[in-house]
Structure 1
Amino acid sequence: MKRFKVFFNIEKEEQWLNEQLQKGFRCTQVNGYGMYTFEKTDKRYIIRLDYQDKLSKEAFEEYKGIYEDFGWNYIKGPWLGGKRFWQKEDDGQNEIFSDRQSQSNYYKRLLSYSFWPGMLCLAYSSMIYKDTRLYHGDLWGMNGSLFWKAFFFETPFVLVKLLPGLMVIFFSIFYYKTYRQYAMLKEK
């Protein structure tokens, strides 16, 4: 089974993954675009997310070995993402403690991921929105079926023209939500 889901909050992502485990679906793979792969299981599992900055190949193998010594199985995920997905059978010792500094670095990285693309979209939007008309000026003078044909023909082009502005809104919301998580982490 594959599921697509995008999270702004890492704790909610872990909670959602554990809810899937409670329903009897074990996570087998996570990609960087929000696609989760599950398989049916009869065993009870627990999943935890850990936060690590960029690790060299040797450091990653050492890090992985330590967790595997304690019974955790690494779920293949985005290698450079910072988030590490760990799963094991539920045996009562189910906590992984990720230090606050690595969590903080993860949120800072997410902030930059949303800030720079948002700024590029904003700059591009300011260039294409100099002409404030979305539709061709003669469209509003047309009548009857000719108006509707022209309107439906131009609407996809209008949507493409609006896309950079919508992306600015999306990246702004993402930045705001990530900043709130980062600020809450700093307050604790």
Structure 2
Amino acid sequence: MKRFKVFFNIEKEEQWLNEQLQKGYRCTKVSGLGIYTFEKTDKRYVMRLDYQDYLSRQKFKEYKGIYQDFGWNYIKGAWLSGIRYWQKEDDNQNEIFSDRQSKGNYYKRLMGYSFWLGMLCLFFSYSIYKDSGLYLTEGLWSMKGSLFWKALLFETPFVLLRSLPVLMAVFFGSSFYRAYRKYSMLKES
């Protein structure tokens, strides 16, 4: 079974994948385009996601080895993605972060991920809008009556598409804030 789903929140993605496991479908592959491949299973599995910055081939091998020593199986994800997918049979030891420090480091990595993607979206937005603005129809604001409304309605879907990078920057900013709050709560308690 294949399912298409796009996530911008790693925790919601993990929750959704575990819901699929509860329904009896084990994830076997994740593509970079949001296509998840599942197979039917009778066993109970659990899935955890981790975000890692770039790892060299040797570091990645060590990283995988540590998880595999504890029974986790690596699910192949997108090559460039920093999100790593881990799955194993449910044995009541289902957390990949064994202590507060490793959980805190995870949230710090998520903050960096959100920050840089948000900055990239802001830069892209600036480069798009700096000279032209959102509405590109020549003389739109000087048009009168029904001609104005027709031109405005025609142009608005394109404006929404052009404003997508700004919306993504806002989303990544809120993602950064959520990770920061969780990181701060770990440090305080």
TM-score, length of structure 2 as denominator length? 0.78
Residue identity matched to 1:176 = S
The aligned residue for residue 3 of structure 2 is: 2
C-alpha offsets along residues 117-159 of structure 1, whole Å, 9 cap, x if unaligned? 22321342242128787874676345xxxx69x937x744443
Aligned to 1:119: 123
Larger CA deviation: 44-53 vs 132-141: 132-141
Residue type of the alignment partner of 1:151: K
Indicate if the aligned counterparts of 1:139 and 1:151 stay in contact, CA closer than 8 A. Answer: no
Q: Which position in structure 2 is the counterpart of 1:179?
A: 177
Structure 1 gap segments, 5+ residues each: none
Which stretch shifts more, 157-166 or 168-177?
157-166
Aligned to 1:19: 19
TM-aligned CA deviation for residue 168 of structure 1: 1.2
Q: Contact 1:47/1:85 (CA < 8 Å) preserved in 2?
A: yes
Q: Quick check: 1:32–1:77 contact (8 Å CA) kept in 2?
A: yes
Gaps of 5+ in 2: none
Aligned to 1:54: 54
Q: Which residue of 2 aligns with 1:63?
A: 63
Provide the aligned length of Structure 1 versus Structure 2.
Answer: 181
Give the 3-state SS of the residue equivalent to 2:144 in structure 1. helix
Indicate whether 1:107 and 2:111 are aligned. Answer: yes
Say if 2:21 and 2:44, in contact at 8 Å, map to a contact too. yes
Aligned counterparts of 2:24 and 2:7: Cα–Cα separation in 1: 21
Classify 1:134/1:173 alpha carbon distance in 2 versus 1 (closer, same or farther; 3 Å): farther
Letter aligned with residue 89 of structure 2 = E
CA distance in structure 2 between the aligned counterparts of 1:184 and 1:135, rounded to whole angstroms: 49
Structure-to-structure mapping, 1:37-52, within 5 angstroms: 37-52=37-52
1:76 counterpart residue number: 76
Identity over aligned pairs, percent: 45
Q: In structure 2, do the counterparts of structure 1 residues 78 and 110 end up closer, same or farther at CA, with 3 Å as the change threshold?
A: farther
**Which amino acid letter does the alignment assign opposite residue 6 of structure 2?**
K
Which structure would you say has the larger Rg?
1
